[in-house]
Amino acid sequence: MLACLCAVLWHLPAVPALNRTGDPGPGPSIQKTYDLTRYLEHQLRSLAGTYLNYLGPPFNEPDFNPPRLGAETLPRATVNLDVWRGLNDKLRLTQNYEAYSHLLCYLRGLDRQAATAELRRSLAHFCTSLQGLLGSIAGVMAALGYPLPQPLPGTEPTRAPGPAHSDFLQKMDDFWLLKELQTWLWRSAKDFNRLKKKTQPPPAAVTLHLEAHGF
């Protein structure tokens, strides 16, 4: 079921761009995508707080910073600065798209486990928003004339609970999922800001606020 859902998402880029507001160039879409990352970041902040409280200690402690164990399949947002600078727009957008596709699949797994209705509602809304982000990125790529990445068969992200996963490790995976999501949103904000500057020669008064708050 989950695999099926993820497959649908993986094929999502096949659909036309989300934003159908005329064709004033990619500028507005990029700006909107940037705003959306900010909006998601704002949402995630309250969602993560709620969810980590739900996981309980030590995950909800402010200085809890465990080593990344397991969760190897999660796409990593951290990258060498030079490498990041060296990325072209297409690769940058593609990496974003692929990352959020995977993360969304994992996130839906969280939804299943969530105990309280309030948490489920927040998760569902975040998922919808993240899905909107994916569509938004796809729209930007379409506007810039880049093809959407083709999902590779067999590489679809799965999250089948194995016997090796203890409850703690499972919570650790959830923790890292949320952490990775936040890192990706920061990175995306930077990516789209950079893209925005490129597409809109006078950078106007847009400033990038990267808030490096921890959980």
Partner 1 sequence: MLTLKTWIVQALFIFFTTESVGELLEPCGHIKPESPVVQLGSNFTAVCVLKEKCMDYFHVNANYIFWKTNHVTVPKEQYTIINRTASSVTFTDISLLNIQLTCNIRTFGQIDQNVYGIRIISGLPPEKPKNLSCIVNEGKKMMCQWDPGRETYLETNFTLKSEWATEKFADCKTKRDIPTSCTVDYSPVYFVNIEVWVEAENALGKVTSDHINFDPVDKVKPNPPHNLSVSNSEELSSILKLTWINSSIQSFIRLKYNIQYRTRDASIWSQIPPEDTASSRTSFTVQDLKPFTEYVFRIRCMKEDGKGFWSDWSEEASGITYEDRPSKAPSFWYKIEPSHTHGYRSVQLIWKTLPPFEANGKILDYEVTLIRWKSRLQNYTVNDTKWTVNLTNDRYIATLTARNLVGKSDAAVLTIPAYNFQATRPVTDLKAFPKDNMLWVEWTAPNESVNKYILEWCVLSDKSPCIPDWQQEDGTVHRTFLRGNLAESKCYLITVTPVYTDGPGSPESIKAYLKQAPPSKGPTVRTKKVGKNEAVLEWDQLPVDVQNGFIRNYTIFYRTIIGNETAVNVDSSHTEYTLSSLTSDTLYMVRMAAYTDEGGKDGPEFTFTTPKFAQGEIEAIVVPVCLAFLLTTLLGVLFCFNKRDLIKKHIWPNVPDPSKSHIAQWSPHTPPRHNFNSKDQIYSDGNFTDVSVVEIEAANDKKPFPEDLKSLDLFKKEKISTEGHSSGIGGSSCMSSSRPSISSSDENESAQNTSGTVQYSTVVHSGYRHQVPSVQVFSRSESTQPLLDSEERPEDLQLVDNTDSSAGNLPRQQYFKQNCSQRETSPDISHFERSKQVSSVNEEDFVRLKQQISDISQSCGSGQMKMFQEISVADAFGLHTEGQVERFETVGTEAAVDEGMSKSYLPQTVRRGGYMPQ
Report, in Å, the least distance between residue 32 CB and partner 1.
5
Instruction: Fill in the per-residue mask, 38 to 67: x = in contact with partner 1 (CB under 8 A), - = not in contact.
Output: xx-xx-------------------------
In the complex, what is the shortest distance from the CB of residue 196 to partner 1, in angstroms, rounded to a whole number?
14
CB of 214 to partner 1, least distance (A): 17
Smallest CA-to-CA distance from 192 within 49, 83, 89, 99 is with 89
**Angle, helices 167-199/27-55, rounded to nearest 10 degrees:** 160
> What is each CA distance from 26 to 67, 68, 73, 150, 195, in whole angstroms?
39, 37, 32, 22, 10
By CB under 8 A, residue 17 contacts partner 1: yes
Per-residue contact flags (x/-) with partner 1 for residues 154 to 183, judged by CB under 8 A:
------------------------------
Q: Considering beta carbons, is residue 36 or 110 the nearer one to partner 1?
A: 36
Q: Which is nearer to partner 1, 108 or 171 (CB)?
A: 108
125 sits near partner 1 (criterion: CB under 8 A):
yes
Exactly one of 20, 81, 160, 166 binds partner 1 (CB under 8 A); that residue is: 20
Asked if 52 contacts 215 with a C-beta cutoff of 8 angstroms, the reply is: yes
Angle separating helix axes 89-113 and 117-144, nearest 10 degrees: 160
How many residues touch partner 1 (CB under 8 A)? 24
Question: Quick one: angle between helices 117-144 and 27-55, nearest 10?
Answer: 160
Nearer to partner 1, 122 or 171 (CB): 122
Give the SS3 label for residue 154.
Answer: coil
User: Which part of the chain contacts partner 1 (CB under 8 A), choosing from 33-41, 86-94, 102-110, 176-184?
Assistant: 33-41
123 touches partner 1 (CB under 8 A): no
* Residue span binding partner 1 (CB under 8 A) among the ranges 35-43, 77-85, 89-97, 154-162: 35-43
Give the Cα separation of 200 and 215 in Å (integer). 33
- Choosing from 5, 15, 79, 204, the residue that interacts with partner 1 (CB under 8 A) is 15
Which is nearest to 200 in space by CA: 63, 34, 16, 62? 34
**CB of 43 closer than 8 Å to CB of 125:** yes
Query: How far apart (Å, rounded) are the C-alpha atoms in residues 197 and 98?
Result: 23
Which residues of this protein are in contact with partner 1, per CB under 8 A?
12, 15-21, 32-33, 35-36, 38-39, 41-42, 125, 128-129, 131-133, 135-136
